[in-house]
């Protein structure tokens, strides 16, 4: 029957939509902007964290500093006491909540009885296509941000300033912070005025997956070995 054909098509479309939506929720996309005057070498990458008065004695601050320290260590940074550090690293972070209104299509079930409120089933009724009714739905959107500012301790000169920001349905800054840190410091140091989008996969425990960089396929026999990773600048 024609109705059965349309039903099968609708079910296939819904299944495809479900797969698409489930795929979209496995990544966190972060916008990153960097300003750089970086000229540091491996030998001089010693640093200490600096705090504002409000950040002193803050457990939350210490938690985020630990995440940043772990990431900086991958770029040959060494945390030292303040009087022996060449650089000071300052963090700023926060969240805000916005409302987003989206028009959603609504389809009425098929009613075989005649009357003024009759509508066909879905967009494909027995009398041809009919437009849906749209209803406005309001959703909360949470925007989280992290700023990392690196200055020379002796002169106060700013040498690196990067901001990472992402938005979605995650209300917790704590859960968003690993993605913000990883994205902000990805490929350090970025060029001055760099603007980029970083996409990190989510593991099943809600953290940053360890395989966010795809592994290149093995080179065929006799081929030259891939170039080594670039050393920190």
Query: Above 50 in pLDDT, residue 88?
Result: yes
Residue 46: other Cβ atoms inside 10 A = 16
Position 169 in a domain: yes
Position 103 in a domain: no
Per-residue tokens: 153: 């301790």
Of the pLDDT bands very low, low, confident and very high (cuts 50, 70, 90), residue 205 is: low
What domain range is 166 assigned to?
A: 27-97+144-201
Percent of the chain with pLDDT over 70: 66
Of the pLDDT bands very low, low, confident and very high (cuts 50, 70, 90), residue 102 is: confident
Model confidence, pTM? 0.68
Tally of domains in the chain: 1
Per-residue tokens: 127: 């009398």
pLDDT digits (tens, 9 = 90+) for 49-72: 999 999 999 999 999 999 999 999
pLDDT digits (tens, 9 = 90+) for 104-114: 787 655 555 55
pLDDT of amino acid 20: 38
User: What is the crossing angle of helices 173-184 and 59-73, to 10°?
Assistant: 30
CA distance linking residue 13 with residue 10, whole number of Å: 5
Strands (E), 4-86: 27-36, 46-50, 78-79
Give the residue with greater pLDDT, 210 vs 103.
Answer: 103
- Residue 69's H or E segment, with its range, is helix 59-73
Position 83 in a domain: yes
pLDDT digits (tens, 9 = 90+) for 142-157: 999 999 999 999 999 9
pLDDT of amino acid 190: 98
pLDDT of amino acid 137: 84
Position 118 in a domain: no
Position 8 in a domain: no
Position 226 in a domain: no
Position 132 in a domain: no
**CATH, residue 190:** 3.30.160.670
Strands (E), the chain: 27-36, 46-50, 78-79, 87-106, 124-125, 128-129, 133-152, 158-168, 194-201
Position 150 in a domain: yes
């Amino acid at each position: 029957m024609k109705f059965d054909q349309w039903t099968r098509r609708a079910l296939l479309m819904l299944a495809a939509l479900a797969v698409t939506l489930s795929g979209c929720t496995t990544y966190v996309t972060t916008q990153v902007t960097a300003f750089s005057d970086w000229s540091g070498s491996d030998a001089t990458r010693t640093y200490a964290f600096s705090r504002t008065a409000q950040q002193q004695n803050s457990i939350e601050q210490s938690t985020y500093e630990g995440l940043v320290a772990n990431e900086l260590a991958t770029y040959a940074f060494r945390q030292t006491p303040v009087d022996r550090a060449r650089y000071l690293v300052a963090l700023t972070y926060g969240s805000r909540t916005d409302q987003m209104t989206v028009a959603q299509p609504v389809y009425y079930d098929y009613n075989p009885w005649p009357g003024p409120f009759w509508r066909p089933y879905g967009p494909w009724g027995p009398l041809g296509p009919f437009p849906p009714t749209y209803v406005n739905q309001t959703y909360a959107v949470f925007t989280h941000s992290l700023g990392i500012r690196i200055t020379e301790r002796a002169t106060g000169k700013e040498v690196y300033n990067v901001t990472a920001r992402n938005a979605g349905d995650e209300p917790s800054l704590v859960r968003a912070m690993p993605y913000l840190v990883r994205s902000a410091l990805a490929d350090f140091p970025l060029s001055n005025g760099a603007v980029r989008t970083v996409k990190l996969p989510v593991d099943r425990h809600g953290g940053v997956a360890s395989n966010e960089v795809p592994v290149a396929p093995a080179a065929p026999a006799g081929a030259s070995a891939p170039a080594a990773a670039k050393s920190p600048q």
